[in-house]
Chains A and B, each alone.
Chain A
Amino acid sequence: MIKDAWTFKPFSAAPIALMDEQGNWVADFPLELPPDFLRGLYRDMLAARLLDEKFVILIRTGKTSFIAPHAGHEAAHVGIAHAMQRGHDWLFPYYRDMGLMVAMGMPFKEIFGQMLGNAADPAKGRQMPSHPGSRALNIFTVCSAIASHIPPAAGAAVSMKLKGTGQVSVCTFGDGATSEGDWYAGLNFAAVQGAPAVFACLNNRYAISVDLSHQTAAHSIADKAHAFGIPGYRVDGMDALASYFVMREVIERARSGHGPALVELEVYRYGPHSSADDDLRYRPKEEVEAAKKRDPIERFRRLLEKQGLWNLEWEERLRADLKARIDRALEEAEAMGEVPALAMFDDVFAEPTWNLIEQRALVQEELR
């Protein structure tokens, strides 16, 4: 079915929002999503938030060396994940997407294994923490080098088109990433090819300390889509349902052969850029506090309550259950222990070359 009439108009002056801050549904179409689906969105957002809180404990107790707080991004995360055909479509995420990992169905134990860099990490502790990935879930491994994953996301989309797999390549990044050459190169290529790719910018208005006015003189990130000849959407990324419905539409659009889209999800990062950052150096506390008043989880809770899908008892059971699962997964991950030292020589190539064999032997001797 090729659809030509779409619900959302690109290049809107204001961000697309479907519920107000009190949780009232304000869209001009009815909210016809199953109750379990809506509760699932809430559960994933809450899980993401609890995970973020756990990471702070991991860093304080020295169990991990780096975290990139994602609190404030949860609505965008669940919107993106649930709009995808998880396990079929491919995701090209970046380091602040831990809530997205949760919503994509990555087991907590693997997430913690990656955070600890230990044997519970499917990637064998090769990368710094907050750099997950999963071949099993079609989640491309996160790379620290900003925007370097965007041309590969475009390439995967081209492959999907050539092979006619019916998949879509979804790629996320921050506003800072839109300044890199790789961003322009990747979007342009995908657009020229009409490939099934969706580019989602989680615009939290800062790239470390540098605010949006230093990244672009454009009115919005979404506006930049004009340059590639693709639609650009501005979305309230603190609104889980706006994030979900817009992403669903552009993914469907890409899947049905209409090519890429750029979606700008306006979010806010409550925490510092990373565990190595002091955000008070560049933004006022009041700004952060004001953003917290617009909390995406609280806003969605109000909507659920208005729909008769939420009560305190359910909330408490849900929280207790998630906390227990998170704690148990951490314990299980910790119990897996260190990655063997010599594993550092594996996976450089499919077959090790003589230099790696020699170097491995040297370390083996040294460890004896």
Chain B
Amino acid sequence: MIQAINAALDEEMARDARVMVLGEDVGKRGGVFLATEGLQQKYGPDRVMDTPLSEAAIIGAAVGMAAHGMRPVAEIQFADYVFPGFDQLVSQAAKLRYRSGGQFTAPMVVRMPSGGGVRGGHHHSQSPEAHFAHTGGLKTIVVSTPYDTKGLLKSAIRDDDPVIFMEPKRLYRALKEEVPSEEYLIPIGKAAVRREGSDISLISYGGSMIETQKAAEELASVGISAEVIDLRTVMPWDKEAVLNSVAKTGRVLVISEAPRTASIASEVAATIAEELLDQLEAPPLRVTGFDTPYPYAQDKLYMPTVTRILNAAKRALDY
């Protein structure tokens, strides 16, 4: 996945001289996860800019650069550190087009490693996507495969609005997949059906796709056919794909490691209940992280485990 990010940035910087990268340690070090490795050597310190340690400055400056015609791709070292820059995201980036009546825009990308499973404690493990989804004017992507990462990052860079691009850090080096070296784009806002099935729909995204797919395999081994959908974009999420699947299966789990209350999972489950009540065989269930800060000592237990997903599936199937 790291190589896919690097390739997407490299291709877009080569294609469009307005595209630039900025953030903490992105230059000489190549990013703490090495996502920007080699780019400063190739494009120079003005287009791959090591910034002061200030997320407010990084995001706020990106807004100004974007408004003035650049295409900045800002890196926030960990999603947990977006908060010092949150005012700039919420007050400036998200609302610029709207509040100026379309006169000014902020076509920028804010990349950030998110999620848990790496023994990082709460400040290196959070999944803050709901904060972004709850802010009108931001699009939010959470990737789960290297192939998608390259195609979606390129789309995000070409998008005319601010896009939050979240990268579950536990997937950075966990997944190997051939990623084409030629140009391709994946549209923002479109889900992917990872597995076809007829008995129950498992809707997930990001890091939790791993446990979701494992759970689907386990269900298959006992003769239950689960359909697996990867949202990929959580705002705007692909309502059509989700409703089509649930209309077919009648049962659904929404799975994510973000805290449960007021989450993307809550939103998807509520929409399903609103629109498909007649066709449901069981209530839509959420399998999520907890409403506690992310605990260091219980790193693995916090995230939806395969067991927790299977227990919920049993509840839905037995309903």
| A→B interface (CB under 8 Å) | 65-66, 117-118, 124-128, 131, 143-148, 176-177, 179-182, 207-210, 214-216, 276-277, 281-282, 338-339, 341, 343-345, 348, 353, 355-356, 359, 362-363, 365-366
In Å, the complex CA distance between A135 and B195 comes to 52
Cβ–Cβ contact A210 & B297, under 8 A: no
Q: Are the C-beta atoms of B32 and A214 separated by less than 8 Å?
A: no
Counting CB contacts under 8 A, is B56 at the interface?
Answer: yes
15 interchain pairs (CB within 8 A)? A118-B297, A125-B298, A126-B293, A128-B120, A143-B123, A145-B80, A208-B29, A210-B27, A216-B52, A276-B32, A339-B297, A344-B295, A344-B301, A348-B291, A355-B291
B250-280 near A? 1/0 per residue, CB < 8 Å: 0000000000110000000000000000000
CA distance A143 to B121 in the complex (A): 11
Closest to B297 in A: A125
A181 to B86 CA separation, bound complex (whole angstroms): 12
A210 and B81 contact, CB distance less than 8 A: no
Interface Cβ pair total, 8 Å cutoff: 130
A-contact bits for B50-61, CB 8 A (1 contact / 0 none): 111111110000
* A359–B260 CA distance with the chains assembled, in angstroms: 10
Indicate if the CB atoms of A127 and B291 lie closer than 8 Å. no
B28 on interface, CB distance cutoff 8 Å: yes
Interface residues of B in 85-127 (CB under 8 A from A): 119-124
In the assembled complex, the CB of B167 is this many whole angstroms from the nearest CB of chain A, namely 16
Collect the chain B residues with CB atoms within 8 Å of residue A181's CB: 54, 56, 84
B 291-313 to A, binary, CB cutoff 8 A, 1 in contact else 0? 11101111001100101100100
Of the candidates A66, A177, A181, A348, the one having the most CB atoms from chain B within 10 angstroms of its own CB is A181
B83 part of interface (Cβ distance < 8 Å): yes
Which residue among A65, A177, A209 has the maximum number of chain B CB atoms within 10 Å of its CB? A209
In the complex, whether B148 has a CB less than 8 A from a CB of chain A is no
Chain B: minimal CB distance from A272 (Å): 11
Find chain A residues with CB under 8 A from B168 CB: none
Nearest-neighbor residue (CB-CB) of A65 within chain B? B119
Given known pairs A344-B297, A363-B301, the reply for A179 and B123 (CB within 8 Å) is no
Whether the Cβ atoms of A125 and B296 lie closer than 8 Å is yes
Contact A117 B123 (CB under 8 A): no
User: Assuming A126-B122, A145-B84, A366-B305, is B29 touching A348 (CB within 8 A)?
Assistant: no
Residues of the B chain whose Cβ atoms lie less than 8 Å from the Cβ of A127: 121-123, 296
- What is the minimal beta-carbon distance from B291 to any residue of chain A, in angstroms? 5
A contact patch SS: loop
Residue contact A180 to B54, C-beta cutoff 8 Å: yes
Of all chain B residues, the one with the shortest Cβ separation from A348 is B292
Tell which of B24, B83, B260, B301 touches A341, judged by Cβ atoms closer than 8 Å: B301
B290 at the A interface (CB under 8 A):
yes
Minimum CB distance partner of A124 in chain B: B297
Q: Are A345 and B290 in contact (CB under 8 A)?
A: yes
Do B292 and A356 touch across chains, with their CB atoms under 8 A apart?
yes
Contacts of B81 in A (CB 8 A): 145-146
A209 touches B28 (CB 8 A): yes
Chain A residues near B290: list those with CB within 8 A. Answer: 344-345, 356, 359
Q: Whole-angstrom distance from the CB of A59 to the nearest CB of chain B?
A: 12
Interface positions, chain B 1-55, Cβ under 8 Å from A, are 24-25, 27-30, 32, 50-55
Inter-chain contacts of B261 with A (CB < 8 A): 355
B173 to chain A, nearest CB (A): 13
Which chain A positions have C-beta within 8 A of B120?
Answer: 65-66, 128
A180–B53 Cα distance when bound, in Å, is 6
- Within the complex, the shortest CB–CB distance from B135 to chain A, in Å, comes to 19
CB distance from B211 to the nearest CB of A (A): 13
CA distance A365 to B122 in the complex (A): 24
Residue of chain B at shortest CB distance from A143:
B123
Query: A208 touches which one: B24, B119, B293 (CB < 8 A)?
Result: B24
10 smallest CB-CB distances across A and B, nearest first, come from A125-B297, A128-B121, A144-B123, A209-B29, A179-B52, A176-B53, A65-B119, A344-B295, A339-B297, A344-B298
The answer for the CA separation of A207 and B27 in the assembled complex, in Å, is: 13
Per-residue A-contact encoding for B204-246, CB less than 8 Å = 1, 0 else: 0000000000000000000000000000000000000000000
